[in-house]
């Protein structure tokens, strides 16, 4: 049994989802400090607002950082914070001996900063269970953007979903249910067969450029460069191009804008339902903390 009352947690950066994570963390009896996400006027019961990330992390056993990823330059995901929050060795210096950082996935800068103080990582970006729990909110957010950014219906539109993982698979199925003519572009033949089974058109990723001219909407869920000039130049004028992937993303959005497309970087869509998604993320965070604490007791 985890002694939550003996733990100090720091929730740093993020958005409204982190409010729910902080609230649920405090409900365990742990000491919780927070910094860098939108702070509600009424505060959060049991949570102390710190003046800086370093203050929040000082003495912490666990630093809880956002799942949406770390942007180029090392900035933590914190869309409402006025200044970039970049983790450094100095910021982490006050964490307790044997501390750990829990987040989606770390970059090399964060790893180096943590290594300077012997801080461990608990990463959960690739936890399929958690991804599927938050996938409906992400898909709903993507659909909202598609409706707002286009002047045609999703119904009967030619759309392509690039990548058929957790998010891409659910998005393709949902677009199909709304009446879209859906193509799924993927390298993996098993994924293409799966897409075929739900009624989508399977397309080898290498063939996407030659087919691009028929798509009014492109949704990419691949966290590697897959939608570049050879695709973007062949899309119809003003096509919607949405990148749903983790940094560095899969779409050359700058080029898409230059070519006159409606380019959208759609990270952090779980923010659309912060209570639901925050609770699902906390379930994964809690499980990792409890497993780590149990291992400490057994050694």
Do 4-125+273-298 and 129-267 have matching folds? yes
List, edge to edge, every strand of the sheet that includes 240-243: 201-204, 181-186, 158-162, 217-220, 240-243, 262-265
Contact 194, 188 (CB under 8 A): no
Cβ atoms of 243 and 250 closer than 8 Å: yes
Which of 52, 91, 67 lies closest to 18, judged by CA? 67
Residue 253: its pLDDT value, please? 96
Instruction: For residue 202, list its beta bridge partners.
Output: 184
What is the per-residue pLDDT across 247-278, written as a single tens digit (0 to 9) for each?
778 999 999 999 999 999 987 787 888 999 99
The region that residue 279 occupies, defined by phi over 0 for left and psi between -120 and 50 for alpha, beta otherwise, is alpha
CB atoms inside a 10 Å sphere around CB 135:
23
Which pair of structure tokens corresponds to residue 239? 């096509």
The ranges of the chain with pLDDT < 50 are none
Tell me the domain boundaries of the chain.
4-125+273-298, 129-267
Q: In whole angstroms, give the CA distance from residue 65 to residue 99.
A: 14
In the Cβ-directed half-sphere of 19, how many Cα atoms lie within 13 Å?
15
Q: How much helix, strand and coil, in percent to the nearest 5, is found in the chain? A: 40, 20, 40
pLDDT of residue 239: 98
Task: Give the model's pLDDT for residue 299.
Answer: 66
Architecture of domain 129-267: 3-Layer(aba) Sandwich (3.40)
Q: pTM above 0.75?
A: yes
pLDDT tens digits, 36-81: 999 999 999 999 999 999 999 999 999 999 987 687 778 998 989 9
Cα–Cα dist 227/239, whole Å: 13
What count of residues does the chain have? 299
CA distance linking residue 101 with residue 58, whole number of Å:
13
Spatial neighbors of 89 by CB under 8 A, at least 6 apart, are 112, 113, 116, 117
Q: What is the pLDDT of residue 117?
A: 95
Rounded Cα gap, residues 239 and 236, in angstroms: 6
> CB neighbours of 75 closer than 8 A, spacing ≥ 6?
84, 85, 86
Superfamily of structural domain 4-125+273-298: NAD(P)-binding Rossmann-like Domain (3.40.50.720)
């089974």: which residue's tokens? 197
Neighbouring C-beta atoms of residue 17, cutoff 10 Å? 28
Q: Residue 269, class by beta-carbon neighbours within 10 Å (0-12 exposed, 13-18 middle, 19+ buried)? A: buried
- pLDDT (0 to 100) of residue 270: 79
């Amino acid at each position: 049994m985890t002694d939550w009352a003996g733990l100090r947690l720091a929730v740093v950066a993020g958005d409204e989802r982190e409010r729910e994570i902080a609230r649920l963390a405090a409900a365990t009896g742990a000491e919780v400090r927070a910094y860098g996400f939108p702070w509600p006027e009424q505060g959060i019961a049991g949570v102390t607002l710190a003046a800086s990330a370093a203050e929040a992390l000082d003495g912490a056993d666990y630093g809880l950082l956002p799942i949406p990823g770390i942007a180029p330059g090392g900035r933590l995901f914190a869309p409402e914070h006025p200044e970039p929050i970049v983790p450094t060795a100095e910021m982490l210096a006050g964490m307790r001996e044997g501390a750990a950082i829990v987040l989606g996935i770390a970059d090399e800068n964060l790893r180096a900063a943590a290594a300077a103080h012997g801080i461990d990582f608990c990463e959960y970006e690739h936890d399929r269970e958690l991804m599927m729990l938050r996938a409906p909110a992400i898909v709903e957010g993507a659909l909202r953007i598609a409706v707002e950014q286009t002047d045609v219906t999703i119904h009967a539109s030619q759309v392509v979903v690039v990548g058929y993982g957790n998010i891409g698979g659910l998005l393709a199925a949902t677009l199909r249910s709304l009446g879209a003519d859906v193509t799924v572009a993927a390298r993996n033949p098993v994924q293409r067969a799966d897409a075929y089974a739900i009624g989508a058109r399977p397309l080898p990723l290498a063939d996407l450029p030659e087919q691009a001219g028929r798509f009014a909407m492109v949704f990419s869920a691949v966290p590697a460069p897959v939608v570049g000039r050879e695709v973007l130049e062949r899309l119809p004028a003003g096509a919607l191009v949405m990148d749903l992937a983790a940094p560095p993303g899969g779409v050359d959005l700058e080029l898409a804008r230059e070519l006159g497309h409606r380019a959208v970087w759609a990270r952090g869509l779980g923010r659309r339902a912060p209570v639901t998604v925050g609770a699902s993320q906390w379930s994964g965070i809690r499980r990792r903390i409890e497993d780590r604490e149990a291992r400490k007791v057994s050694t």
